[in-house]
């Protein structure tokens, strides 16, 4: 019987938030936990969101359609939506969260009765409302934090900040101090924090407080990238309360060649347009322009970006998603680009209108720079492939990421907005030339290649992230042994 207990895989339940920025790191984490640490995973998903592109929806379906690496996928039953007129998006989100609670409690109860029973529950930074359910069922709960250690520091420190600062953050005339990273301009704090009257403010604050209820927080970062933020968290400089969750920096959680087969098959159809075009370009000559799976630029901003890319004289690959109109949906790309733009730049630029295979593009020898919205997944993918960045944040915590990448980590050049919130064509030309041909770009390339090496060492046996993953895996295996 003792031998049987030792040979049986520990069983984990994992439930991410919706969105590619959350789903991808959770999948990579699950694969590594199952493949390298001998765990069995039940990966819980929700119905695919209606606003994702067909390419993204197909990708999600591919990744979650069959079990592999001892990972079993189950879909949470769809919560019944009531037809309610005149309620805001955040009110609708909060109502859906309430409905999810009872559904998740039923799933966790079922998994407790499985063989073997789950030994821990891992969920997302924006699902902290579920932690009391796992506590009620006596299941240890952990947060897999898809963003960086700096944001963990901010969220854990936020209740104290809110009690000390009575005015809206956007009205402050001085930088905000958070342990672990440089004082940050208040306008670079996450979007939900700018206005206290915004319903998202209370939503963000509630999840910030909820993080404290977890047994531990696994962060998609590595010590060599965010040493000061991680040190501040571990040494109790961020949160002095009696219950500080254990901190495990286990990143970067991006695809590795050993776990890449599904994604490679998925991008084969794109190779003719994107990657074959890249094959024809010289080494480090192309700037890749992409703003993630959700962000959409205004028509005016697309025009300025196009004219700036053209004026820069640099080669570019642009994954372009146009703005949406309430009545007719997407605006045709031909109506958004300057007249004659594609014909004038056809020898050095390519515009694609589908979801581009980002990792293969960043890994391509021709890629020399990345104009990015500074989403954390994209940031880690860029660092892991040694590609310096132009920081062009759009929303959420991206301005904060941009601030850290430019001022602390020093791997990006900031694209500065004008008085109307638009990055003008002259600024686009400046930052593209600076990154691809200028002295500043040389410094960013040197720095990010150092971090690329550090990321590889962190994940290798004996590295900082490898050790952190092994440590938390040992905790879960001990818990599994106790429950058998």
Query: Which residues are tagged catalytic?
Result: 22, 124
Nearest in space to 317 (alpha carbons), one of 267, 356, 351: 351
Going by the DSSP 8-state scheme, the letter that residue 171 receives in this structure is G
Question: Order of strands across the sheet with 286-290?
Answer: 349-352, 315-319, 286-290, 367-372, 389-391, 412-414
Closest CA to 246 of 33, 476, 457: 476
Neighbour-count burial for 35-66, b at 16+ CB within 10 Å, e otherwise: bebebbbbbbbbeeeeebbebbeebbeebbee
Measured distance CA(16)–CA(27) in Å, rounded: 9
Write out 292-359 in H/E/C secondary structure.
CCCCCCCHHHHHHHHHHHHHHCCEEEEECCCCEECCCEECCHHHCCCCCHHHHCCCCEEEECCCCCHH
Return the number of other C-beta atoms located less than 10 Å from residue 361's C-beta: 24
Query: What gap in Å lies between CA 270 and CA 360, rounded to an integer?
Result: 11
Q: Which two tokens stand for residue 324?
A: 């949406």
- The three-point CA angle 213-219-221 to 5° equals 160
The two three-digit tokens of residue 280, written as one number: 């024809």
Helix (H, G, I), strand (E, B) or coil at 121: strand
d(CA 351, CA 353): 7
Task: Answer whether 34's CB lies under 8 Å from 69's CB.
Answer: yes
Q: Are strands 349-352 and 329-330 parallel, antiparallel or unpaired?
A: unpaired
Give the number of other CB atoms < 10 A from CB of residue 270. 18
In the Cβ-directed half-sphere of 162, how many Cα atoms lie within 13 Å? Answer: 17
């Amino acid at each position: 019987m003792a031998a049987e207990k030792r040979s049986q895989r520990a069983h984990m339940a994992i439930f991410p938030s919706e969105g590619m920025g959350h789903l991808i790191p959770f999948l990579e984490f699950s694969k590594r936990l199952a493949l390298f640490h001998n765990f069995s995973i039940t990966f819980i998903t929700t119905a695919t969101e209606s606003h994702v592109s067909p390419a993204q929806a197909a990708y999600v379906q591919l990744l979650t359609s069959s079990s592999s690496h001892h990972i079993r996928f189950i879909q949470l039953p769809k919560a019944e939506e009531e037809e309610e007129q005149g309620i805001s998006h955040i009110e609708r989100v909060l109502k859906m969260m309430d409905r999810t609670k009872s559904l998740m409690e039923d799933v966790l109860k079922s998994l407790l009765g499985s063989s073997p029973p789950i030994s821990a529950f891992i969920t997302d930074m924006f699902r902290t409302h579920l932690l009391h359910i796992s506590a009620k069922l006596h299941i240890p709960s952990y947060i897999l934090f898809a963003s960086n250690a700096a944001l963990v520091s901010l969220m854990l420190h936020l209740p104290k900040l809110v009690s000390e600062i009575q005015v809206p953050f956007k009205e402050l005339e001085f930088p905000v101090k958070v342990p672990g990273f440089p004082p940050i301009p208040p306008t670079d704090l996450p979007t939900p924090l700018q206005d206290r009257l915004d319903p998202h403010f209370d939503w963000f604050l509630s999840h910030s407080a909820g993080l404290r209820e977890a047994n531990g927080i696994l962060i998609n970062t590595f010590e060599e990238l965010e040493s000061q933020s991680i040190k501040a968290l571990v040494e109790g400089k961020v949160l002095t309360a009696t219950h500080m969750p254990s901190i495990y920096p286990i990143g970067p959680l991006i695809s590795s060649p050993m776990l890449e087969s599904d994604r490679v098959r998925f991008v084969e159809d794109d190779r003719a347009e994107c990657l074959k075009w890249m094959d024809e370009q010289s080494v480090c000559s192309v700037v890749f322009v992409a703003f993630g799976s959700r962000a959409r630029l205004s028509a005016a901003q697309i025009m300025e970006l196009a004219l700036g890319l053209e004026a820069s004289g640099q080669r570019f690959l642009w994954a372009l998603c146009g703005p949406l109109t309430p009545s007719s949906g997407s605006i045709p790309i031909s109506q958004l680009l300057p007249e004659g733009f594609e014909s004038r730049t056809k020898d050095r630029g390519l515009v694609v209108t589908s979801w581009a295979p980002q990792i293969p593009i960043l890994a391509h020898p021709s890629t020399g720079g990345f104009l990015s919205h500074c989403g954390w997944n994209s940031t880690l993918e860029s660092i892991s492939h040694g590609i310096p960045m132009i920081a062009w944040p759009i929303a959420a915590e991206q301005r904060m990421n941009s601030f850290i990448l430019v001022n602390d980590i020093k791997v990006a050049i900031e694209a500065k907005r004008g008085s109307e919130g638009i990055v003008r064509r002259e600024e686009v030309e400046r930052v593209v030339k600076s990154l691809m041909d200028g002295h500043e770009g040389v410094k960013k390339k040197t720095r990010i290649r150092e971090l690329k090496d550090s990321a590889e060492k962190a994940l290798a046996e004996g590295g900082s992230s490898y050790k952190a993953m092994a440590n938390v895996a040992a905790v879960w295996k001990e818990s599994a042994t106790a429950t058998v």
